Amino acid sequence: MTVQTISHVEFHCEDADKYAAGLCADYGFTAEAPVAAPDGTRTIALHQGTIRLHLADAADPGHPVSSFVARHGDAVAVLALGCADPNAAMDRAERHGARVIDRAGGLIAGFGDTALRFVPLRTTDPAAGPGLLDTLDHVAICVPAGQLAESVRFCEAALGFHRIFGEYIEVGEQAMDSSVVQSASGEVTFTLIEPDTARRPGQIDEFLTSHGGAGVQHLAFSTRDIATAVRTIRARGVEFLTTPGAYFDALAERFGETAIPVETLRDLHVLVDQDHGGQLFQIFARSTHPRRTYFLELIERQGAGTFGTANIKALYEAVERQSTDAR
């Protein structure tokens, strides 16, 4: 299929300079010079490894960028999909019911106010330096109750993705349903999540309320050395979510030997799971968003190509503890 990569992620921000400074200082991104457009917007491009983030703000409170921020706060506004043939991707999406927002700009409606943009594949990339982060592993997207199945169908029909994983997750009295869809290239992965409204309202309900509808809950950045990445980023002042010691006490029984020593995982609160290909390690950064909606995940894959079933629940339990502490 024509969708092959996530070329870049477009954020709409109240203050792009401030947002960029935080990502550079905390996570090691490199910022390019701001680019001003005739409509009054400014965009700052950040890069690290193959990750590309475009941060835009607007001086005019009536500009669509400003209106987006008023509705959602600083958030992902567009996922730019790198395509072998952007026009063919647009035609396919439209044939399968996608709403075209800007044909010339390759823009279609995606999930709530988060749009999708079809762009040509990047032909060159700056040489990857010794950064902490390498690639955009996956994008987690929350959708309202009752929309998960339709969102999966949209990704399959309009984008040519296929469903690779699904999990019903219970955390105390709340629950959520999730499906993972992926491009044929394996380079674009969306984790789609909806709340179970038959259970007590929880973090996904809170996201949808605070964010103002469907949207990107977190980006997961891959790293080749999660222990070093967590230590370095934590030393810069970033807080990560914690996990009870009982989780780590059970690791030897669950997995035997882990590629990263259990005591290191315990000290850093990094979770581990495995599939037939190997192990994966994950951790969430504590959300600093004023609405407590968006956050970041770090992930290291040592052969594992899927998502650890047990980790999904453990990660969301960690988010729930943060939400409870904040109340």
Mean pLDDT, rounded, for 12-39:
97
> Could you say which of 120, 144, 177 is where a domain stops?
120
Residues 60 and 111 in one domain: yes
Q: Is residue 125 part of a domain?
A: no
Last residue of a domain, one of 60, 88, 120: 120
Do residue 77 and residue 201 come from a single domain?
no
Residue 296: what pLDDT?
98
Q: Judge if 202 and 250 occupy the same domain.
A: yes
More confident residue, 66 or 254: 66
pLDDT above 90: residue 65: yes
Same domain, 62 and 144: no
| Boundary residue ending a domain (120, 148, 176) | 120
DSSP strand E in 143-230: where?
162-171, 174-182, 189-195, 215-222
Give yes or no for a contact between 308 and 282, defined as CB atoms under 8 angstroms apart.
Answer: yes
Same domain for 268 and 147? yes
Residue 315: predicted pLDDT: 65
Tell me, what's the pLDDT at 276?
87
Residue 50 and residue 29: Cα distance in Å, rounded?
Answer: 11
The pLDDT, as a whole number, for residue 321 is: 67
Tell me, yes or no, whether 90 and 142 share the same domain.
no
Confidence check: pLDDT of 135 > 70: yes
Query: Does residue 150 carry a pLDDT above 70?
Result: yes
Q: Which domain holds residue 104?
A: 3-120
- Paired tokens of 85: 């043939």
Q: Same domain, yes or no, for 143 and 283?
A: yes
Sign of CA dihedral 153, 156, 161, 167: positive
Q: Is residue 128 part of a domain?
A: no
User: By C-alpha distance, which of 296, 319, 300 is closest to 29?
Assistant: 296
Q: Give me the pLDDT at residue 324, please.
A: 61
d(CA 50, CA 309): 27
Amino acid at 245: G
Does residue 126 lie in a domain region? no
**Closest Cα to residue 264, out of 230, 314, 305?**
230
Domain total in the chain: 2
Section 256-282 average pLDDT: 93
Q: What is the per-residue pLDDT for 1? A: 53
Confidence band (pLDDT; 50, 70, 90) for 306? Answer: confident
Structure token pair of residue 99: 């709403």
pLDDT tops 80 at residue 326: no
Instruction: Calculate the alpha carbon distances from 265 to 243, 254, 258 in Å.
Output: 10, 14, 10
Residue 112 within a domain = yes
pLDDT of residue 327 exceeding 60, the answer is no
One-letter amino acid for residue 282 of the chain? Q
pLDDT at 128: 55
- Spatial separation of the C-alpha atoms in residues 289 and 298, rounded to whole Å: 17
Mean pLDDT for 65-92 is 97
Integer CA distances (angstroms), 276 to 181, 191, 221, 303, 305, in order = 19, 20, 22, 8, 9
Q: What is the pLDDT of residue 202?
A: 87
Alpha helices in the chain (DSSP H): 16-27, 64-72, 86-95, 148-159, 203-211, 226-235, 245-249, 251-255, 262-268, 309-326
Report the C-alpha gap between 222 and 232 in whole angstroms: 15
Tokens describing residue 83: 């395509």
Q: Is the pLDDT of residue 308 over 70?
A: no
Q: Residues with Cβ < 8 Å from 66, sequence gap 6 or more?
A: 57, 58, 60
Residue 223 sits in a domain whose CATH number is: 3.10.180.10
* Average pLDDT score over residue span 44-71: 97
